[in-house]
């Protein structure tokens, strides 16, 4: 089988990760990473996407005579996949209407396809990861926000507006906290790293004792930094390892809301398997351990007993691999392969 290579870019709320993937095996051959820094504006963000893409291609050191033939980009928000435009992105400083595909096509001289971040990651898990061989699958990734995707009949189901599976915007508390999208009581306002960070910082300012204070100081981070940036998943993991009461209490609350949302997804969609991933779940497996039994207990008995709830197999590379697979589809559609 001839080797085929694709570039995948996972644009997150805090970092941009790019990698060159062997499309036959799912192996990432070279990668590059940069901070997102979306607050600097659209032009700067598009430039950083181009930079991380070229760095990843250089790092891959592909065999002589072989080339990257396509690129895919995953973004955390609502996208127009036909035009390659990021329409809205609450976790990217409110940036919207970004012509990501066009900008990268000009920079890389490759066909580029744009997709939603978790929808793309679901493609990676379906082909090479924890969703392999499953016809009816739900993927939920917890990071800066909470995203979801649906696999039906072994294929990604985007829905007519390409927003199917947005579990992060299920209402879990009527009239509750404001979400970054402007709605109230959404799961993302309770179980995302942004939400967890906000609660923790507020409690620290109230004087609650926590090892986080020392961890933040050692990392040179100001407690008054913006809530979405101050406490990274790695710091949460360190606090959990030290049995910090405040962090465990906050994760327990986040995990409970996540479990309730998963129970609703089980009742509504009756999936065979749910894959949980994202930076928070990868760094703090405790979140899955809290959410999974709640989801199965609160769901209807029959679908709750049937469903498996498992961690992502591809980890941090799920988005990169999924993006590369998405980009390869653009080549197939154009008849170039």
The structure's pTM equals: 0.88
**pLDDT tens digits, 301-335:** 999 999 999 999 999 899 999 999 999 986 554 44
Please check whether residue 236 is in contact with residue 284, taking contact to mean a CB–CB distance below 8 angstroms: yes
Angle between helices 245-269 and 286-298 (to 10 degrees): 40
Residue 290 vs residues 198, 254, 295, 306: alpha-carbon distances, Å: 20, 9, 9, 19
CA distance from start to end of the chain: 13
Q: What's 241's DSSP letter?
A: H
- How confident is the model over 1-38, as pLDDT tens digits? 567 999 999 998 888 999 999 999 999 999 999 998 87
**Main-chain phi, psi angles of 238, to 5 degrees:** -65, -40
Answer positive or negative: Cα dihedral of 322, 8, 44, 216.
Answer: positive
Average pLDDT in the chain: 91
Q: Is the pLDDT of residue 168 over 70?
A: yes
Tens digit of pLDDT for each residue in 242-257?
999 999 999 999 999 9
Domains of the chain: 5-123+316-333 (3.30.420.40), 133-312 (3.30.420.40)
> Can you tell me whether residue 293 is helix, strand or coil?
helix
pLDDT of 260 above 60? yes
- Helix (H) or strand (E) holding 120, with range, is helix 117-128
């Amino acid at each position: 089988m001839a080797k085929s290579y694709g570039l995948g870019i996972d644009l997150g709320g805090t970092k941009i990760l790019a990698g060159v993937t062997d499309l036959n095996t799912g192996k990432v051959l070279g990668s590059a990473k940069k901070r997102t820094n979306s607050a600097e504006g659209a032009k700067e963000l598009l430039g950083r996407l181009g930079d991380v893409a070229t760095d990843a291609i250089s790092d891959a050191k592909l065999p002589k005579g072989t080339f990257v033939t396509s690129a895919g980009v995953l973004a955390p928000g609502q996208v127009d996949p036909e035009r390659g435009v990021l329409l809205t992105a609450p976790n990217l400083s409110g940036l919207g209407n970004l012509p990501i595909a066009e900008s990268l096509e000009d920079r890389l001289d490759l066909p580029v396809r744009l997709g939603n971040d978790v929808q793309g990651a679901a493609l990676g898990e379906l082909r090479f990861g924890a969703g392999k061989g499953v016809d009816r699958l739900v993927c939920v990734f917890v990071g800066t926000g909470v995203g979801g995707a649906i696999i039906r009949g072994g294929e990604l189901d985007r829905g007519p507006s390409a927003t199917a599976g947005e579990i992060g915007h299920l209402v879990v508390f009527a009239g509750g906290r404001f979400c970054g999208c402007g709605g109230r009581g959404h799961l993302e306002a309770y179980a995302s790293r942004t939400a967890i960070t906000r609660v923790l910082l507020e409690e620290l300012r109230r004087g609650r004792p926590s090892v986080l204070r020392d961890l933040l100081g050692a990392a040179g981070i100001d407690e008054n930094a913006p809530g979405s940036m101050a406490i990274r998943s790695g710091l949460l993991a360190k606090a959990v390892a030290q049995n910090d009461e405040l962090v465990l209490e906050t994760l327990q609350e986040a995990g409970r809301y996540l479990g309730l949302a998963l129970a609703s997804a089980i009742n509504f969609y009756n999936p065979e398997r749910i894959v949980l991933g994202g930076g928070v779940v990868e760094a703090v497996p405790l979140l899955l351990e809290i959410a999974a039994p709640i989801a199965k207990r609160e769901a209807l008995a029959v679908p709750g007993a049937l469903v498996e709830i498992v961690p992502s197999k591809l980890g941090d590379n799920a988005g990169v691999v999924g993006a590369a697979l998405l980009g390869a589809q653009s080549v197939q559609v154009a008849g170039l392969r």
